[in-house]
Amino acid sequence: MPPLQCGDHLLHYLEQAGPTAGDDPIGHPELQAFQVNTGIVLTEWEASTLRQLSKALLAESHRATDPNCPAPWDAAREAQVLKALSVRDAMRNLATM
């Protein structure tokens, strides 16, 4: 992963709090328990960002169940795959004319 410019403490908080609540994103009850248990007081922005990170993690973990799913950090490869699929589909369309 590339180094973060800011907010890297939130990744640590997410790991400590538990990145998800089972098959649901981390919720306010989990964040409240995290704050009580650690003594860390989250700002509204931090709590909102932790929930967004949790939702993104769950979405990616569900997407990753597809065996053809490209790695999330390989955007260039994903663009190449999409372009190749587009070319393939165009060739198929031409073949059926």
DSSP SS3 for 88? helix
Q: What pTM was estimated for this model as a whole?
A: 0.68
For the chain, first and last CA: distance in Å?
A: 46
pLDDT at 26: 94
pLDDT of residue 97: 65
Helix axes 8-17, 28-38, angle to 10 degrees: 100
| pLDDT tens series, the chain, 97 aa | 567 788 889 999 999 999 998 889 999 999 999 999 999 999 999 999 999 999 999 998 888 888 887 776 666 666 777 777 787 777 777 777 6
- Specify whether the CB–CB gap between 8 and 14 falls below 8 A: no
Which pLDDT does position 69 carry in this prediction? 79
Using the 8-state DSSP alphabet, how is residue 3 labeled? P
